[in-house]
Structure 1
Amino acid sequence: MSPAGTDPRQEAPPRGRPRSEAVERAIIDTVMKLLEDGVPLAELSIERIARTAGVGKATIYRRWNGKEDLFVDVMRAAEPPDPELPGTSMRDDLVVLLESLRLRGLAGRTSAILHNVHAQMKSSPNLWEAYHNTVIVPRRRLGLEVLSRGRDNGELRADLDLELLNDIIVGPVLLRTVMRPDADLPDNLAEQVVDTLLEGLRPAGDEN
């Protein structure tokens, strides 16, 4: 019997193994190193990753359903972190979002992982879909939420198509980062794009 006043349930060890952030980071770092060394995505099997990282395949599968899920986390780790919006105004939030996009463009030019894997992902529909659903869609949703708040707060005209407007706002930065990889990405690009567009999008009579 347990000592008086002691709940035996509190003495039982927890079931299962706790997830180790250090192990997850080591696996992600292993994939990043293999990609930096030029190993194509198609040749990165779970077996090879596990062997290189010095873990069992089961260790990987306990954390990710398969290669697609793992590679999406690798891409997220290689990119700049998602920004924290100031929430002071629609204009300020849009500048922060575009600045994040600009920094990703710069990272794509300097990071072998981002540059090579983005190109390879287009030939892997499952991987591209996983990346699109878990990375791109939430970012787009965040931009639409900012625009919606701006419209509700009177910072935008009420008749605007927010889906189209979101494309118009991110378009110039995407053009320079994807279609024109040699184009300049100056420090003030986000402010230039947002302020130029907002000049024609504010409600009539609003000069602020």
Structure 2
Amino acid sequence: MTTVSLDDAADQERKAPGRPRNARADAAIIEAVLELLSAGQSADALSMEAVAAKAGVGKATVYRRWPNKEALLIDAIRTMKGPPPVPAGESVREDLVMLIAGMRNKRMEHYGKVTACLVPELLKSPEMYTIYQSAMEPRRDVMRQVLVRGVANGDLRADLDIELTMLMLSGPTIAQNMLRWNPNVPDQGFAEALVDAVLRGAAA
């Protein structure tokens, strides 16, 4: 039986106009980026050649999909974070608990090292900072809309600072995910405890 490599599949795809991109090749390339970053490779030093080698495809295959490293990193970060969650829309508290719990699941644990490797790049590279923000904003907006709805229906204070409240909810979550900043705070019930602590000041 003849085995078709990811690169061969990508070439066949390129030779057939109108065919969709090879999903296996796309996934392998994205996963290669995330594996290299989680292994300690800095985003600045990451090369398209290294990604291609890790994914088992030719460099041309990578460039046919992403014109440059920045575009590839945006897609890798979006893939790492996954699609934005969809709140039920019935309870502000329950929606916030769901969002915080989603930031602390096994998937986020797995990619914690990737985020840690990106932090130095975000601090020194305005371009990488913009890339990261563009990938994060759709998820951030989900939480923003939950809080806006809470203010509109009277569950939350009318003068609530929405952006600061988002930071109060997300900051501790990120600190515990990346650094386990305070080991005395238990993982069990973390999302509920954090949301309830913030809502004590935010509730109408």
User: TM-score range with shorter-chain normalisation?
Assistant: 0.7 to 0.9
The structure where helix makes up a greater share of residues is: 2
Match of 1:153 in 2: 153
SS of corresponding position for 2:198: helix
CA distance in 1, matches of 2:32, 2:66: 15
Q: Relative to 1, partners in 2 of residues 1:61 and 1:173: Cα closer, same or farther, differing over 3 Å? A: same
1:46 to 1:150, Cα distance in 2 relative to 1, 3 A: same
2:141 counterpart of 1:141:
yes
- 8 Å Cα contact 1:107/1:114 also seen in 2: no
Task: Find the aligned partners of 1:112 and 1:165 in 2 and give their Cα distance.
Answer: 26
Q: Which residue matches 2:103?
A: 101
For 1:65, the equivalent position in structure 2 comes to: 67
CA distance in 2, matches of 1:21, 1:172: 36
* Aligned partners of 1:144 and 1:163 also within 8 Å: yes
Could you report, residue by residue, the CA deviation over 1:129-175 in whole angstroms, capped at 9, with x for unpaired residues?
1011122x222222111111111122112232322332333343344
The RMSD of aligned alpha carbons is: 3.0
Q: Are 1:80 and 1:103, in contact at CA under 8 Å, matched by a contact in 2?
A: no
- Distance, in Å, in 2 between the alignment partners of 1:144 and 1:160 is 12
> d(CA) in 1 for partners of 2:132 and 2:29?
18
The residue number in structure 2 matching 1:8 is: none
Instruction: For 1:156 and 1:44, locate their aligned partners in 2 and report how far apart those are by CA, in whole Å.
Output: 45
Contact 2:116–2:178, Cα closer than 8 Å, also in 1: no
Contact kept in structure 2, 1:176 and 1:185, CA below 8 Å = no
2:198 corresponds to: 197
Shift of the alpha carbon at 1:177?
4.2
- Structure 2: gaps spanning 5 or more residues: 1-15
> Partner residue of 1:88?
90
Helix, strand or coil at the partner of 2:181: coil
Query: Structure 1, residues 183-204: CA drift from partner, whole Å, max 9, x if none?
Result: 335221111122233234333x
TM-score normalised over the length of structure 2: 0.74
Q: Distance in 2 between matches of 1:104 and 1:128?
A: 25
Residue 25 in 1 paired to residue 27 in 2? yes
| 2:139 equivalent to 1:125 | no
Question: Is 1:35 the equivalent of 2:1?
Answer: no
